[in-house]
Amino acid sequence: MTDERKVQEVLARYVRATDARDGKAQGALFTDDAVVQIHTRTNAGGYDPFGEPLIGGAAVQYAVENFMEPHPEGGFSHHVTSDHVIEVDGDRAHLNAQFIVFRVRARRRPQTGWPQGAFGAQGSVEPYESGYYDTDLHRVDGEWRIVRHDVLLDMPMAVPGV
């Protein structure tokens, strides 16, 4: 497998861990001193940092396990990444990719079964978040790990109480 493909796979594992709310798996993708910063788009077209950065894989794990909203029954999120731009220089790499996050809500099967005429997937899928991942990685003990991860959101973000 090429280094470019291995770097892309780190992002694939990152979004799958996010969708599964698996903090341990996500935190393992980062170095102990990695910096993670969320940014929101400004009206002028640039980005402003949102909140304080997370430092290290343990902080990432903690954030996933304690600050991400759990999925409701029948609910899930599904990240899609595209247009990966990957540059590898020895043991360093840079990855930039677009993303869209979809909210998935499955309908509960009625106790009496699906109604007459019901067909296909039962539920809804809607996009609710988009932006770019801008990520630096280093090869550590033969494995690619994230050392800097900027989440560039296309929209502002609101957090209750902040």
With a threshold of 0.85, does the pTM exceed it? yes
How would you class 42 by CB atoms within 10 Å of its CB: exposed for 0-12, middle for 13-18, buried for 19 or more? exposed
Average pLDDT, stretch 113-142? 93
64 is written with which tokens?
A: 């996933």
Residue 156, φ and ψ in degrees, nearest 5: -70, 165
Domain range for 141 is 3-153
* Per-residue pLDDT at 22: 97
49 occurs within a structural domain: yes
- CATH number where 142 lies: 3.10.450.50
The answer to whether residue 162 scores a pLDDT higher than 70 is no
Whether residue 162 is contained in a domain is answered as: no
Residue 78 lies in a domain: yes
Asked whether residue 37 is assigned to any structural domain, the reply reads yes
51-68 burial code (b ≥16 CB/10 A, e <16): eeebebbebbbeebeeee
| Average pLDDT across the chain, whole number | 94
Percent of residues, the chain, with pLDDT higher than 90: 77
Tell me, yes or no, whether 39 lies in a domain: yes
91-122 residue pLDDT tens: 999 999 999 999 999 988 889 888 888 888 89
Residue 93 inside a domain? The answer is yes
| 14 in any annotated domain | yes
- Identify the residue with better confidence: 53 or 110: 53
Q: Which tokens belong to 155?
A: 């929209």
Instruction: Say how many domains are in the chain.
Output: 1
Looking at the chain, the whole-number percentage of residues with pLDDT higher than 70 is 99
Its sign, for the CA torsion 151, 152, 153, 156, is positive
